[in-house]
Structure 1
Amino acid sequence: MDIRLKFINRSSGGHQAEVVLFQRNILASIDELPLAWKVIRYCGRDCYHPLVYPTDYEVSTSDEYGNHSPRVRVANGQQVKVTPTPSGRRLGSATNSDSSAEIQVINALPRGSVNVNIYKAGLLMARKTAVAPGQKVVFQFKPTLWISVASQIMQSEAVTSAVIASDNTELPLAGFTSADIVMTGGGSGSDAAPYVFTLENMRLA
Structure 2
Amino acid sequence: MNKIKLNFINKSNDRSNSSIVIFQKNAATSYDQLAVAWKVIENCGEGDNHPFEYSYDMEVSAGDSHGNFTRKLGAFPGNRFEMIKDDTGDVLKLTKEYTSSPKDVEVVNHLNKGAISANIYRSGTLLAKKKVVAPGSKAVFQFLPKIFIGVTSEIQQGEVMNSAVIKDLNTQISLSGILSADIVMTGGSSNPYEFSLDNVVYA
Give the TM-score normalised by the residue count of structure 1: 0.91
Matched, 1:149 2:158: no
Which residue of structure 1 aligns with residue 88 of structure 2? 87
Which residue of structure 1 aligns with residue 118 of structure 2? 116
State the shift of 1:199 in Å: 1.0
Runs of 4+ with deviation above 6 angstroms: none
Which residue of structure 2 aligns with residue 19 of structure 1? 20
- Structure 2 runs not aligned, ≥5 long: none
Give deviations 1:161-202, integer Å, cap 9, x for gaps: 222222521111111111110000012xxxx21000001111
Q: 1:75 to 1:185 in 2, by over 3 A?
A: same
Matched, 1:73 2:74: yes
Contact 1:72 1:94 in 2 (8 A): no
> Identity percentage over the alignment?
42
Q: Number of residue pairs matched?
A: 201
Determine helix, strand or coil for the equivalent of 2:90.
strand
Determine helix, strand or coil for the equivalent of 1:39.
strand
Determine helix, strand or coil for the equivalent of 2:94.
coil
Whole-angstrom distance in 2 between the partners of 1:17 and 1:164: 16
State the shift of 1:88 in Å: 0.6
Whole-angstrom distance in 2 between the partners of 1:69 and 1:134: 19
Q: 1:94 to 1:124 in 2, by over 3 A?
A: farther
State the shift of 1:92 in Å: 1.1
Q: 1:47 to 1:94 in 2, by over 3 A?
A: farther
Whole-angstrom distance in 1 between the partners of 2:18 and 2:162: 17
- Structure 1 runs not aligned, ≥5 long: none
Which residue of structure 2 aligns with residue 173 of structure 1? 175
Q: 1:15 to 1:176 in 2, by over 3 A?
A: farther
